[in-house]
Amino acid sequence: MAGAREVSRSEKKRASAEGPRQAAGLAGRLAEIALCYQRELERNPRQPGALVGMSMVALASRQTEAAVKMAAAGAAAAPEMSVAWVALGQALKAAERLDEAERAYSEAIRLDGMDPLARMGMGELKIAAGLPRDAIQEFELALARRPALAAAHLGLGNALAFMGRNEEALARYEAALALRPRLPEGEFAAGFALALLGRTKEAETRYRRALTMRPDFAAAWTNLGNLLRGEGREAQAEAALRRAVELRPDLISGWVNLAILEREKRRPEAAEVYLRRAFALNPNHVETLVAWCQFRAAERDLAGAWGWLRWALERNPNFDEAVNMHGILLHLEGRFAEAVPVFERAEAAGNRAAASNRGNSLLDLGRMDEALKAHESAVERDPASAGAKYNLALTQLRLGDWERGWAGYEARWGFREVHRAPRSFQQPRWRGEPLQGERVLLYAEQGLGDTIQFCRYAALVAARGGVPILQVQPAAERLMRWLEVARAGRAETTVLGTKLPEFDCECPLLSLPAVFRTTIETVPWTGAYLGADEEQAAEKLAQFPCVRPGPRVGLAWAGNPKYKADRARSLRLKTLLPLLRAVDATWVSLQKGEAAEQLADLPDDVFVWDGSSQDRDLADTAAILAGLDLVVTTDTCIAHLAGAMDKPVWILLPHLADWRWMQERETTPWYPSARLFRQRAPGDWAEVIQRVSGASGASELAG
């Protein structure tokens, strides 16, 4: 999808519904208890109490069909005994025969309208059916009869959590623990609520406490694994999830979440193996079907994703995660107007990510005010969501609200689509305080263009009294030496992945605008801040003599293909043929990588020098740029390099460009020499090229 997405994970909801086991207290004594009931049944095969007891034993042993059979026999033997109907409801629920379970609980309630266990069971069914308000009423009725029923407090907490009322849910979980202090399900549930509230350290403590009490608590291992995955602690996450499926090979959520982990680690073959394990356990399990849909979409197999989604929606057309994925697939196909109402349906069904996704579709439709409101709503609904906060920040920056946007942009560190495994340091983060010679590590965290755009802040750090140490990509390190502070010996450069020099504090490059509270009016600019060696530039220029009477124009048409929005921003060289034929200029390619191979396919009437395919790094590219009159490029690092060198640069942008180019502007405060040409309709590069060709007389190109 365009921009960053957060696809909500239904495993949290699923884990929250694990709830207390009614027969958990039987663990360790099942054989002894079963023997007692068997003796009673030998004396009287229709003894209802013994039949119900045997049902509970079978349920605790996960022998669901045996549990159903025994409970049904008990209800038949004593049809006026409400506890027998409750036991039957529990057994049928465990067997996923939910309609029958509801009829059993209803019969128990008919016999005793305030039976707390029947009301609890009915409440759990309402949660499973996506009816949390009805569930709340059932749990409250159970507590009206038995206020000290810890399991009812847990169930009520689960219903509240389903509705996003996480603070209230946590209070209910704590109430259950106050009644039963060593209840592992209570600690597990509290951890679940704390995770939703963004209090991850506390959540981890609670999950581990639950596991200390009950080491075989597979759901707790699953949730712990998800939490660790979200923090980028992938090895620990994998160990926890593997432990979950070792304990419960039938635990579908464990296999699904292992698949998600492998998918995020870009190991699709392993992810598919785990999804197949989950699917084999239950081919109709809707959450597995949605996970398959997400997997196929991540592999760019939209046809396959649609197939899995249709299967999921056939089984549960109101499952919020499936509806959300429906919107995502529509968005990925560019059907933004259709996606918006689908995301609205997902929101109404309780999906936590759908509002943010709707905001991104509205952005693509150009409905900026509505998009902003959608992203604000997403954060209000789920204030702990790093993805929602990140999307809101990007929208604020796009629309010029930089004061809030830069602060909110820090949410990227908790958003795995941006940073799967954020770096951590013992040294403190520098937040703008005055410096007295402290060495400040300023490190690249995203693409080469970002490094070029934000390295200018090194001068401001030096002005605060610090010694900047720029740690950047290998392709950018030699270029960074051209910064004035580096040439003056007041800054150092080093390469990512090599041993760090000593430093006192650190700050990522893209956090510096927030540190310096940058506004549109205060973007640091005193002129070109990057350059090239004059002798090398002259040598490069000599390699590309003018073949036409016009100026020399640099050309780049494709960015890093690994960037997820690259298909929208990059184009093929042949798309530029009308421009190359219309303008009387000597064209010099600044393209690197596989895209540079397209030069070989140019027709005979068009000639472009290959200027950069053999460049060692960006310093070599800068040497070529120094001799050019203009650069025409898509949104690539070349655009940033030309801008940083104060070279005239025309940047060709998609309909919804990256946030840094803002909206409806033909200029940018980041690079005064830049001119922006935006698509007026999604995907319409032809119109952009026509506009550029019409604007580009030889005299204008020459400046």
- State which H helix or E strand residue 209 sits in: helix 200-213
Edge-to-edge order in the sheet of strand 492-495 = 492-495, 467-472, 439-443, 505-508
The percent of residues in the chain predicted with pLDDT above 70, rounded, is: 95
Q: Which of 476, 431, 436 is nearest to 453 (CA)?
A: 476
| Whole-structure pTM value | 0.84
pLDDT bin (cut points 50, 70, 90) of residue 686 is: very high
Which of these ranges, 386-395, 419-428, 552-561, 591-600, has the smallest mean pLDDT? 419-428
What pLDDT score does 544 carry?
84
Q: Are residues 577 and 656 in the same domain?
A: yes
Q: Does 673 reside within a domain? A: yes
What pLDDT score does 114 carry?
87
Handedness of CA 95, 98, 99, 104 (dihedral sign): positive
Q: Does 220 reside within a domain? A: no
Question: Which of these three, 212, 242, 271, is where a domain ends?
Answer: 212
pLDDT of 622-670, one tens digit each?
999 999 999 999 999 999 999 999 999 999 999 999 999 999 899 999 9
Tokens 């430093």 sit at which residue?
503
Q: Are residues 17 and 99 in the same domain?
A: yes
Domain count, the chain: 3
Q: Does 379 reside within a domain? A: no
Q: Are residues 468 and 550 in the same domain?
A: no
Q: Are residues 643 and 612 in the same domain?
A: yes
What pLDDT score does 2 carry?
39
Residue 670 identity: W
- In this structure, the number of other CB atoms found within 10 A of the CB of residue 688 comes to 22
pLDDT bin (cut points 50, 70, 90) of residue 50 is: confident
Q: Are residues 63 and 128 in the same domain?
A: yes
Q: How far, in Å, CA of 208 to CA of 220, rounded?
A: 8
Q: Are residues 183 and 162 in the same domain?
A: yes
Q: How far, in Å, CA of 563 to CA of 233, rounded?
A: 23
* φ, ψ of residue 552 in degrees (nearest 5): -90, 130
Q: Does 693 reside within a domain? A: yes
Can you give the CATH number for the domain in which 35 is found? Answer: 1.25.40.10
Which residues have a Cβ under 8 Å from the Cβ of 522 and sit 6 or more positions away? 516
* DSSP-based three-state secondary structure for 656: coil
Q: How far, in Å, CA of 567 to CA of 177, rounded?
A: 52
Q: Does 18 reside within a domain? A: yes
* φ, ψ of residue 94 in degrees (nearest 5): -65, -30
Q: Are residues 478 and 589 in the same domain?
A: no
Q: Does 489 reside within a domain? A: yes
Q: Are residues 590 and 663 in the same domain?
A: yes
pLDDT of 9-25, one tens digit each?
343 343 333 333 333 44
Which residues have a Cβ under 8 Å from the Cβ of 73 and sit 6 or more positions away? 46, 51
For residues 349 and 326, is the Cβ–Cβ distance under 8 A?
no
Q: Across the strands, what pairs with 609?
A: 588
Q: Length of the chain in residues, anyone?
A: 703
Q: How far, in Å, CA of 328 to CA of 11, rounded?
A: 19
Mean pLDDT for all residues in the chain? 90
Q: How far, in Å, CA of 379 to CA of 356, rounded?
A: 8
Q: Does 191 reside within a domain? A: yes
Residue 455 identity: C
pLDDT of 325-378, one tens digit each?
999 999 999 999 999 999 999 999 889 899 999 999 999 999 999 999 999 999
Q: Does 276 reside within a domain? A: no
Q: Are residues 143 and 26 in the same domain?
A: yes
For residues 392 and 376, is the Cβ–Cβ distance under 8 A?
yes
Question: Which of these three, 522, 555, 574, is where a domain ends?
Answer: 522
Question: Which of these three, 522, 548, 581, is where a domain ends?
Answer: 522
Domain that holds residue 574: 534-701
Q: Are residues 459 and 538 in the same domain?
A: no
pLDDT of 164-188, one tens digit each?
889 999 999 999 999 999 999 999 9
Q: Which of 256, 315, 250, 309 is nearest to 284 (CA)?
A: 315
* The pLDDT of residue 77 is above 60: yes
Query: Per the structure block, which two tokens stand in for 334?
Result: 């560019």
Q: Are residues 488 and 624 in the same domain?
A: no
Q: Are residues 488 and 515 in the same domain?
A: yes
Q: How far, in Å, CA of 210 to CA of 221, rounded?
A: 9
**17 against 382, higher pLDDT:** 382
Q: How far, in Å, CA of 210 to CA of 220, rounded?
A: 7
Q: Which of 661, 647, 660, 668 is nearest to 527 (CA)?
A: 647
Can you give the CATH number for the domain in which 556 is found? Answer: 3.40.50.2000
